């Protein structure tokens, strides 16, 4: 085996040094009835065979490269500078362990610190952690934080929050005494303030909104944090980090916690993961934050040093009293996001957000002109919006498939009332001719 | 010098007006898109981001990378972490455009390649563990544990046994076990180890009753010892109506040797980033698939891949499912890497993994026990634990020896863990290290033992050759500087007003 250096000769020598005559002598403690293992696993392939085989398997996928795709819904196609993969591919980052030994991990620790700084900056909040598994689990952990902080039992969540995130939230809370209550949205997709107000009571720990939300609408949240804070509850906002280049920050909305999916920050969609959960909060809640935090301190010579900090929150110290059970997170994805944000820089982050607006608004206007399709033009959006078709999408699908177009995500599976409605996404990756082609094919459906 | 002394943040290297990426100039709308956003929805706080050119950014990160130990540069004998070589073919496959540029919301028929890999991976994991079905959704070991414990809860609830509120964990367990049980609302009960480092059966018996929900067990345990009475343990736990949970952190010892499913475990999580060679990435991403026995299948998370003829399909949950545990299918990119590893090694290669890992551990143990005593001196599985208790009189702790090892070019073993061993050093060499490397590592230990006698300060103040000396962790926690704004004192108006 080309990963295993041990030869038969080595084995014999080592057994002698260990002082046993056969390998089996080392396993005497294992009950013999457990030793009869039969595994049905195919025999090894050479690397050349593997390469051809996996190319062949890969060819059974349709991709965002060979199709014109308008899919969003929590995973986005964005331009990724080539330098990102080169930086992330540095094996000293790639094959390192969690930076428990700070002296041997200054590279990872400083990168995490820079990542935290940029996420705090984007969200307009004080502190961000080193990352979470994904946007959905970040959101669930934020709810748990709010429940613990307020010692209350109920979480309010907008129905316009990503349905998968709401499902994960429910999974996380199912075994606990805590409950989740949802409030609705208006026809255009923005949350319904009356429904929200009606459900707000003094047993609510926090309320979760997403902006731009799953239906593509950018929420107007003026006064929401005041309403919640007066009630003693927290505001949790799920965000899209790319949108925060131009959109109002969770900090500016008065949010206590911001969570989100970091995938848009330079991470390929790769069928759903690995991604990176973003988690930011205020100084007041800093000591309840789940997951790793890197900080700056001094070393024994008084030099600047980076280390993991506030570890008293964590499982390896606190065991059953920890703030969360999270251990390993998504460090390499956080590094990817960090490299992406550093390359984009101050101007790039603003420009890419502006380009998303430009493409999405353009496409929405064009589709609005088509017969048989309806969009709400008065709803503010970022890079996604709803398109309602007069005919069932199933009927249009063959035409679109023939043109190698993934038109969007059908919403009726999540929202039965949104019949024949598609969530359509256009990011900066789309050119005028591509958008026009999509509109053209739609018009011929 | 090889390693840059520059410890400035990217923010501190920034110069106004520089940029590291260029975007299309073309705008499609006649008006500026920003004007379409109502002013009340726009960001006001300027974005304090670094401004650097691409070469500056690349140099920044490449120099940072050189301040890391990693598998590709160093021996990394971290106990219970299985820091083995991360094969490059895994990366080559996972990064193919056909896999990396697929969207999780594509229809099943457009993802047949990925679904086939996930399906086949599940079949392999079932074979390796002896379990009946797996979910691939959990993103990490601790996430797998959480998924597993939520299933324990759902299982007992479905039988009307809500009074089962206690989860048993051995005192040698990983910290994630009690933390996970607590997260699901369980009361954690610690079970004592016997003098041979295994679960104390008498203590376990006392805690097996009608309020017991589950025992979470690592086997081999964190001392690297096989729980020889595992069949008795299984009998006790099942006898009182509780479930048995297998923490797969140490599965690298058992491939082809024996299977948790055959031992009687009901739920198993695997750490694909340990046993199945996917990179640790400086702390993730990993993957923590969870396997169960038939009686728990209805409670698995909500998506499962089935093969119908030659077609693969994602099947949604049944009514008893605990639901979704992550946004999409899981860490697919990591799952692909693990499957490539299995196909690269094949059946005999996988068996060789554990045999060589066990050989290496026993070989190294024999060498090191002449320098420091082993916590339990018996044949070990893939790892073992030394105790440095005798150094305490000199004021030297196991963590100090770990730091000194860094100077010799070896990553420190896991230090001060497991908690049941005083001054523990937990060492796992893995199968991908040669005996030459192990010999060099043992030599470094011998030299350190000598240094302890001659110049203890050398150990207490180690490391001496790395980019930094020991960081002041107390200072870091007392006065947390967690962002560039904290460092530069650049309070935003909003945060300033809150304080």
Residues 6+ apart with CB under 8 A from A281: A125, A126, A127, A128, A145, A256, A257, A258, A288, A289
**pLDDT band per the 50, 70, 90 thresholds, residue B490:** low
- Determine, for residues A105 and B69 on separate chains, whether the beta-carbon distance falls below 8 Å: yes
pLDDT score of A433 more than 70? yes
- The Cα A284–Cα A397 span in angstroms is 51
Percent of chain B predicted with pLDDT > 90:
95
- Give the model's pLDDT for residue A314: 73
- Determine, for residues A248 and B71 on separate chains, whether the beta-carbon distance falls below 8 Å: no
- The average pLDDT across B452-475 equals 97
Residue of B173, B327, B411 for testing the chain A interface, max A β-carbons within 10 Å: B327
- The average pLDDT across A419-433 equals 97
- Give the model's pLDDT for residue B497: 37
The number of C-alpha atoms within 13 Å of A432 and in the hemisphere containing its C-beta is 7
pLDDT score of B128 more than 80? yes
The whole-angstrom distance between B338's CA and the closest CA on chain A is 13
**How are beta strands B267-270 and B290-292 bridged, if at all?**
antiparallel
pLDDT score of A318 more than 80? no
Question: Which residues of chain A lie closer than 8 angstroms to B343, CB-CB?
Answer: 42, 44-45, 50, 53
Q: Nearest-CA residue of chain A relative to B11?
A: A114
Tens-place pLDDT, residues A342-367: 999 999 999 999 999 999 999 999 99
Q: Nearest-CA residue of chain A relative to B145?
A: A325
pLDDT score of B418 more than 60? yes
Tens-place pLDDT, residues A282-305: 999 999 999 999 999 999 999 999
* Residue B348: count of CB within 10 angstroms of its CB: 12
Longest dimension (CA), chain B: 79
Q: Which of residues 396-425 of A touch B (CB under 8 A)?
A: 406, 409
Question: What number of helices (H) and strands (E) belong to chain B?
Answer: 17, 12
pLDDT score of B494 more than 60? no
Q: Is A243 on the interface with B (CB under 8 A)?
A: no
The residue among A399, A421, A402 whose CA lies nearest residue A410 is: A421
pLDDT score of B460 more than 50? yes
**pLDDT band per the 50, 70, 90 thresholds, residue B492:** very low
- The average pLDDT across B90-102 equals 98
Q: Which of B103, B256, B486 sits opposite A39 (nearest CB)?
A: B256
Q: Which of A57, A86, A171 sits opposite B116 (nearest CB)?
A: A57
Q: Compute the CA torsion angle A125, A126, A132, A137 (nearest 10 deg).
A: -50
pLDDT score of A430 more than 60? yes
- The Cα A180–Cα A123 span in angstroms is 25
ipTM: 0.97
- Give the model's pLDDT for residue A324: 79
Residues 6+ apart with CB under 8 A from B394: B452, B456
Q: Is B127 on the interface with A (CB under 8 A)?
A: yes
- Give the model's pLDDT for residue B491: 54
- The average pLDDT across B364-376 equals 97
Task: Give the DSSP per-residue string, B44-110.
Answer: -S--------HHHHHHHHHHHHTTB--TTTSB--BTTT------HHHHHHHTSHHHHT--TTS-GGG
- Give the model's pLDDT for residue A327: 75
- The Cα B272–Cα A259 span in angstroms is 27
Secondary element (H or E) of residue B307: strand B303-308
pLDDT score of B452 more than 50? yes
**pLDDT band per the 50, 70, 90 thresholds, residue B489:** confident
- The Cα B41–Cα A218 span in angstroms is 8
* Residue B327 vs residues A263, B291, B299: alpha-carbon distances, Å: 12, 20, 18
Residue of A22, A97, A177, A180 for testing the chain B interface, max B β-carbons within 10 Å: A97
Percent of chain A predicted with pLDDT > 70:
100
Q: Nearest-CA residue of chain B relative to A73?
A: B105
For the ranges B172-181, B204-213, B301-310, B484-493, the lowest mean pLDDT is seen at B484-493
Which residue did the predictor score with more confidence, B404 or A327?
B404
- The Cα B178–Cα B197 span in angstroms is 19
Whole-number average pLDDT of chain A: 96
Q: Compute the CA torsion angle B68, B74, B75, B80 (nearest 10 deg).
A: 30
Task: Give the DSSP per-residue string, B106-155.
Answer: S-GGGBHHHHHHHHHHHHHHHHHHT-SEEE----SHHHHHHHHHHHHHHH
Cα separation of the two ends of chain B: 44
**pLDDT band per the 50, 70, 90 thresholds, residue B302:** confident
Question: Which residues of chain B lie closer than 8 angstroms to A248, CB-CB?
Answer: 40-44
- Give the model's pLDDT for residue A319: 76
Q: Which of A83, A268, A295 sits opposite B481 (nearest CB)?
A: A295
Is B74:B409 a contact under the CB 8 Å cutoff?
yes
Q: Is A71 on the interface with B (CB under 8 A)?
A: yes
- The average pLDDT across B94-121 equals 98
pLDDT score of A312 more than 90? no
- Give the model's pLDDT for residue A328: 67
Tens-place pLDDT, residues A210-237: 999 999 999 999 999 999 999 999 999 9
Name residue B217's beta-bridge partners: B246
- Give the model's pLDDT for residue B499: 31
For residue A274, give both structure tokens: 């690995």
Percent of chain A predicted with pLDDT > 90:
94
The residue among A276, A268, A335 whose CA lies nearest residue A133 is: A276
Phi-psi region of A366 (alpha: psi -120 to 50; beta: other; left: phi over 0): alpha
* Residue B256 vs residues A155, B77, B342, B347, B353: alpha-carbon distances, Å: 47, 23, 13, 8, 9
Q: Before A274, cis peptide (omega within 30)?
A: yes
User: Chains A and B: how many Cβ contacts under 8 Å?
Assistant: 697
Question: Which residues of chain B lie closer than 8 angstroms to A30, CB-CB?
Answer: 226, 228, 257-258
Whole-number average pLDDT of chain B: 95
- Give the model's pLDDT for residue B493: 43
Tens-place pLDDT, residues B184-200: 999 999 999 999 999 99
Tens-place pLDDT, residues A42-78: 999 999 999 999 999 999 999 999 999 999 999 999 9
- The Cα A264–Cα A262 span in angstroms is 6
Backbone φ, ψ for residue B288 (5° rounding): -130, 60
Question: Which residues of chain B lie closer than 8 angstroms to A81, CB-CB?
Answer: 20-21, 54
E strands, B142-279, where? 166-170, 187-191, 212-218, 243-248, 267-270
């Amino acid at each position: 085996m080309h990963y295993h250096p041990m030869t038969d000769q080595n084995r014999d020598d080592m057994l002698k040094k260990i002082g046993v005559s056969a390998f089996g002598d080392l396993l005497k403690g294992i009950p013999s009835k457990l030793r009869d293992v039969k595994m049905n696993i195919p025999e090894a392939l050479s690397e050349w065979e593997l390469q051809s085989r996996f190319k062949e398997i890969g060819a059974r996928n349709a991709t965002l490269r060979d199709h014109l795709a308008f899919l969003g819904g929590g995973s986005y196609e964005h331009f990724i500078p080539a330098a990102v993969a080169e930086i992330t591919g540095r094996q000293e980052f790639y094959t390192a362990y969690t930076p428990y030994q700070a002296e041997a991990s200054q590279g990872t620790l400083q990168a995490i610190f820079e990542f935290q700084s940029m996420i705090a900056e984007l969200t307009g909040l004080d502190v961000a952690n080193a990352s979470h598994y994904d946007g959905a689990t970040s959101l669930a952990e934020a709810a748990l934080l709010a429940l613990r902080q307020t010692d209350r039992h109920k979480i309010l969540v907008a129905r316009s929050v990503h349905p998968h995130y709401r499902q994960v939230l429910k999974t996380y809370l199912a075994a606990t005494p805590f409950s989740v209550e949802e409030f609705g949205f208006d026809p255009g997709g923005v949350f319904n303030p009356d429904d929200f107000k009606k459900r707000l009571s003094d047993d609510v720990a926090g309320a979760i909104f997403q902006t731009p939300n799953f239906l593509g609408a950018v929420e107007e949240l003026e006064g929401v944090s005041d309403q919640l804070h007066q009630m003693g509850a927290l505001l949790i906002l799920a965000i899209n980090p790319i949108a925060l280049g131009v959109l109002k920050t969770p900090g500016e909305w008065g949010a206590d916690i911001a969570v989100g999916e970091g995938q848009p920050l330079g991470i390929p969609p790769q069928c759903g993961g690995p991604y990176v959960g973003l988690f930011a909060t205020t100084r007041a809640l800093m000591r309840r934050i789940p997951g790793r935090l890197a900080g700056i301190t001094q070393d024994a010579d008084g030099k600047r040093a980076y280390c993991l900090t506030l570890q008293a929150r964590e499982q390896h110290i606190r065991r059953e009293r920890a703030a969360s059970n999270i251990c390993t997170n998504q460090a390499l994805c956080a590094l990817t996001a960090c490299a992406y944000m550093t390359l984009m820089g101050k101007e790039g982050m603003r420009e890419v957000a502006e380009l998303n607006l430009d493409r999405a608004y353009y496409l929405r206007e064009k589709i609005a002109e088509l017969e048989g399709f309806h969009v709400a033009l008065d709803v503010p959006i970022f890079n996604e919006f709803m398109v309602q078709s007069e005919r069932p999408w199933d009927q249009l699908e063959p035409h679109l498939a023939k043109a190698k177009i993934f038109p969007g995500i059908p919403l009726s599976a999540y929202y039965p009332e949104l019949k024949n409605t598609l969530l359509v996404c256009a990011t900066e990756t789309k050119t005028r001719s591509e958008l026009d082609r999509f509109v053209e094919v739609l018009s011929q459906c | 010098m090889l390693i840059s002394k520059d410890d400035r943040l990217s923010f501190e290297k920034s110069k106004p007006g520089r940029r590291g990426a260029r975007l299309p100039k073309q705008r499609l709308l006649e008006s500026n898109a920003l004007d379409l956003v109502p002013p009340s929805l726009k960001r006001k706080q300027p974005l304090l981001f670094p401004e650097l050119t691409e070469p500056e950014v690349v140099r920044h990160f490449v120099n940072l990378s050189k301040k890391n130990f990693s598998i590709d540069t160093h021996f990394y004998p971290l106990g219970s972490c299985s820091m083995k070589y991360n094969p490059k073919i895994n990366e080559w496959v996972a990064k193919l455009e056909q896999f990396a540029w697929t969207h999780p919301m594509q229809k099943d028929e457009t993802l047949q390649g990925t679904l086939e890999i996930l399906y086949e991976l599940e079949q392999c994991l079932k074979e390796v563990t002896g379990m009946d079905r797996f979910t691939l959704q959990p993103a990490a070991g601790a996430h797998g544990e959480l998924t597993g414990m939520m299933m324990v809860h759902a299982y007992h609830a479905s039988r009307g046994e809500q009074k089962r509120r206690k989860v048993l964990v051995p005192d040698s367990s990983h910290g994630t076990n009690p933390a996970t049980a607590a997260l699901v609302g369980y009361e954690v009960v610690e079970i004592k180890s016997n003098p041979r480092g295994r679960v104390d059966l008498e203590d376990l018996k006392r805690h097996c009753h009608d309020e017991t929900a589950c025992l979470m067990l690592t086997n081999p345990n964190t001392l690297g010892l096989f729980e020889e009475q595992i069949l008795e343990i299984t009998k006790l736990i099942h006898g009182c109506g509780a479930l048995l949970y297998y923490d797969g952190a140490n599965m690298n010892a058992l491939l082809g040797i024996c299977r948790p499913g055959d031992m009687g475990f009901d739920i198993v999580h695997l750490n694909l980033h340990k046993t199945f060679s996917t990179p640790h990435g400086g702390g993730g991403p990993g993957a923590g698939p969870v396997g169960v026995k038939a009686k728990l299948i209805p409670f698995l998370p909500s998506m499962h891949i089935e093969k119908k003829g030659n077609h693969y399909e994602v099947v949604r949950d049944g009514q008893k499912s605990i639901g979704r545990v992550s946004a999409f299918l899981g860490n697919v990119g990591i799952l692909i890497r693990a499957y490539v590893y299995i196909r690269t090694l094949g059946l005999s290669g996988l068996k060789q993994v554990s045999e060589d890992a066990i050989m290496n551990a026993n070989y190294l143990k024999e060498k090191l026990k002449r320098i420091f005593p082993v916590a339990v001196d018996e044949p070990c599985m893939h790892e073992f634990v030394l105790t440095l208790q005798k150094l305490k009189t000199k004021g030297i702790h196991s963590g100090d020896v770990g730091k000194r090892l860094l100077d010799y070019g070896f990553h420190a073993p896991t230090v001060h863990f497991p908690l049941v061993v005083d001054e523990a050093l937990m060492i796992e060499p893995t199968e991908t290290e040669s005996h030459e490397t192990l010999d060099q590592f043992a030599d470094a230990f011998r030299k350190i033992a000598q240094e302890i006698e001659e110049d203890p300060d050398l150990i207490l103040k180690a490391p001496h050759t790395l980019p930094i000396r020991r960081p002041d962790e107390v200072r870091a926690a007392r006065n947390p500087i967690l962002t560039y704004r904290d460092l530069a004192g650049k309070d935003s108006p909003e945060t300033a007003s809150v304080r």
